[in-house]
Amino acid sequence: MLFAKNAVGIEIGNDGLKMAVIGGKSIMPRLDAWQSTTLPAETVRFSHREANVLNAPVFVSKIRDTYIRLLTGTRRVSLSLPDTIGQVRLLELETRFKSRDEGADIIRWKLKKSLPFDVNEAHLDYQVLTETDTGEIAVLVSLIMRQVVNQYEELLLESGLEPVRIDFTSFNLYRLYSRRLELAESSVVISHYGGMLSILIFHDGVLDFYRVKELSAGKGNASTLFREINSSLLVYRDTKPARTFREVFFMAPQEEAEPLRQIIAEICALEPVLLDVGQFITRREGVAFDRQTLYTLAAAVGAAMRAL
């Protein structure tokens, strides 16, 4: 299937602002253009409780200037934001629901005492993962405070862009690699990206465990990564002892790939497979980038892939 038009993805993260324009086929997107820039200190402060953008004029100016350099006419954009500004939960519910709105109400009721904010003040989206013959269902739930997401939408509109999709970075990374990962029925996917460590575990092709941890400055060292990955897998094995995984995939900056491979191999007793962005995307003739630059564009590309 071909992209009807070029698609634009934007990632806002700890290391600044990235934009990617993609075209080509959905199974192998083509990078047509890209731009990136840093954001001045105190422009954005990531929080799940309060609006993130502290200096709106500077933020809007950076968005406009970066977008103009893309030289594209596509103004509909998909946005990738850090997982840590929202909440992601995997829930098991004991009853079916008749409509999507009824499902959202049931989920809000179930979560109302376990969230660090008022669930009624959050934008909620969910996806049904599995459903049994007896009516039990498993759902993936994403929440983000309305004042947080509304501010990003309003400032993108002020910049002359139309945000059509907003998602968390860990899911946009998965989307980029999905054509390989979907072949693995039971697997672990570990991403060391943009100052975040994410661990997703799949059982029978369905997301079964989710954890994202922000690595504070200077904390992305071997001992911290070992501790965080090992503790996450111990929690999974303790809660679901009958389940195993057969494959492990990972992504990391070029200079971190080999140390992380060794850590994962020691913990999992499996040889992990490196997800190389260059194997999942082509480029338009004349578009220049190196391996590290392409790695930093992964979430923006994954976001753009939503606009199929």
What is the Cα–Cα distance from 174 to 39, expressed in whole angstroms? 26
- Which domains does the chain show, CATH number per domain? 7-84+146-173+282-304 (3.30.420.40), 86-145 (3.30.1490.300), 183-278 (3.30.420.40)
- Count CB-CB contacts under 10 A for residue 269: 8
* pLDDT at position 220: 57
Q: Calculate mean pLDDT across residues 180-207.
A: 95
Would you say residue 4 has pLDDT above 60?
A: no
* pLDDT at position 2: 42
* pLDDT at position 308: 62
Predicted confidence (pLDDT) per residue in 9-36, tens digit: 999 999 899 999 999 887 889 999 999 9
Helix (H), strand (E), coil (C) string for 245-272: CCEEEEECCHHHHHHHHHHHHHHHCCCC
Q: Calculate mean pLDDT across residues 165-185.
A: 95
What is the Cα–Cα distance from 252 to 4, expressed in whole angstroms? 32
* pLDDT at position 1: 39
**Residue 133 confidence class, pLDDT cut points 50, 70, 90:** confident
* pLDDT at position 271: 97
* pLDDT at position 238: 96
Would you say residue 218 has pLDDT above 60?
A: no
What is the Cα–Cα distance from 79 to 85, expressed in whole angstroms? 13
Would you say residue 5 has pLDDT above 90?
A: no
Supply 228's token pair. 């965080």
Would you say residue 55 has pLDDT above 50?
A: yes
Q: What percent of the chain has pLDDT over 70?
A: 97
Helix, strand, coil abundance in the chain, percent, nearest 5: 35, 35, 30
Q: What percent of the chain has pLDDT over 90?
A: 83
Strand partners, 303: none
* pLDDT at position 27: 81
What is the Cα–Cα distance from 302 to 175, expressed in whole angstroms? 5
Would you say residue 251 has pLDDT above 80?
A: yes
Q: Calculate mean pLDDT across residues 260-268.
A: 97
* pLDDT at position 70: 95
Predicted confidence (pLDDT) per residue in 270-307, tens digit: 999 999 999 999 988 888 888 888 999 999 999 999 88
What is the Cα–Cα distance from 212 to 203, expressed in whole angstroms? 18
Predicted confidence (pLDDT) per residue in 75-118, tens digit: 999 999 999 999 999 999 988 888 999 999 999 999 998 998 99
Q: Calculate mean pLDDT across residues 261-275.
A: 97
Strands (E), the chain: 7-13, 16-25, 28-37, 76-81, 87-93, 122-131, 137-145, 162-168, 187-193, 196-203, 206-214, 247-251, 273-274, 282-283
What is the Cα–Cα distance from 13 to 21, expressed in whole angstroms? 18
Strand pairing category for 122-131 and 196-203: unpaired
DSSP conformation class of 44: B
Supply 144's token pair. 């983000």
- Kindly state the greatest CA–CA separation across the chain: 56
